[in-house]
A and B are shown apart, each in its own frame.
Chain A
């Protein structure tokens, strides 16, 4: 069963990519991109996990000798989440502008209007 977290990450990536390729609506496309990005969270946290260990937060009750899961990948994931949220907002703002200018959010329709 130890491959399941990695398989989940690969599946999320693939399913998001399929959504991007087949998308008929730009908002749907942006959401699919966030699904792809979620696969990186699962992969990073999955790699850093150590069986039986807890979060890397120590206090007088939990001394560092107890050990913990890897803190570096957790910090990377934190960064990843924040960037994902703001970049999604930026993409959605672009989508709003496209809607205002052309009145459609279907990528194929947009291409037809272009030519």
Chain B
């Protein structure tokens, strides 16, 4: 199909699409006046029924925990797909040196790696009490490791995240999520039902299975991103 024909076809179909979109959007509640009862009920009952303050975390890891399992598996499958496409049998020792020449970048970058990783772990650990959670914290932890490449050198990044360990963490994160679901079955509940003691509201030991699933998601996301960076950076060093 020529470029011109494609644009004409696009013009025609996009007019219909826009018309449908406008029609659909006019049926939505006015901005700021959402009346959905599901969210309202969750907002008012989560603290008393699940002993956690962050309702979004409670939705992700408890009320809609099954949906999150699907999402975790999409994440897992995509990362495995990237590894499958890009990973080749490589000689681990044969990496060119890529030192950062700017002292300022090196000093500041290397100095903040520790704090960034700790911040990430903090965001994961308090995900169900304050804003944050396994997904967000996992990304912060991974970005701390990537700083090791950005401010240091690729060899150091590889040394800090050996493939065998990252692959294991990635699989363990996804596996732990499923294991928690099956454990609930064995305990006599439903799949992914919150069967663990709920603990005291406002402390780390609260929320039943929420902290466990939260930690599993944090582990998986951190490992997934480190693995993605690794695979793409390896491409950089191929000639």
Q: Show the binding face of A for B, using Cβ within 8 Å.
A: 1-6, 10, 13-14, 17-18, 21-22, 46-52, 55-60, 64-65, 67-75, 78-79, 81-83, 86-87, 89-90, 92-94, 96-97, 108
Among the listed B21, B60, B74, B235, which residue makes an inter-chain contact with A10, where contact means beta carbons less than 8 Å apart?
A: B21
Chain B 5-63 residues near chain A, CB threshold 8 A:
6-7, 10, 14, 17-18, 21-22, 25, 28-34, 36, 38-40, 42-48, 53-56, 58-60
When the two chains form their complex, are residues A82 and B21 in contact, meaning their CB atoms are under 8 A apart?
no
Q: Main SS of the interface on chain B?
A: helix
Q: Show the binding face of B for A, using Cβ within 8 Å.
A: 3, 6-7, 10, 14, 17-18, 21-22, 25, 28-34, 36, 38-40, 42-48, 53-56, 58-60, 64, 67-68, 71, 74-75, 78-79, 81-82, 85-86, 129-131, 133, 135, 202, 221, 224, 228, 231-232, 235
When the two chains form their complex, are residues B232 and A92 in contact, meaning their CB atoms are under 8 A apart?
yes
When the two chains form their complex, are residues A3 and B31 in contact, meaning their CB atoms are under 8 A apart?
yes
The complex places the Cα of A111 from the Cα of B54 at a distance, in Å, of 50
- Given contacts A71-B55, A72-B39, A78-B135, whether A86 and B75 have CB atoms under 8 Å apart is yes
When the two chains form their complex, are residues B6 and A21 in contact, meaning their CB atoms are under 8 A apart?
yes
Residues from chain B with Cβ under 8 Å of A89 in the complex: 78-79, 82, 228, 232
Residues from chain A with Cβ under 8 Å of B17 in the complex: 14, 17
The complex places the Cα of A56 from the Cα of B130 at a distance, in Å, of 10
Among the listed B7, B10, B44, which residue makes an inter-chain contact with A65, where contact means beta carbons less than 8 Å apart?
A: B44
Among the listed B44, B46, B54, B86, which residue makes an inter-chain contact with A96, where contact means beta carbons less than 8 Å apart?
A: B86
Residues from chain B with Cβ under 8 Å of A81 in the complex: 135
Residues from chain A with Cβ under 8 Å of B86 in the complex: 93, 96-97
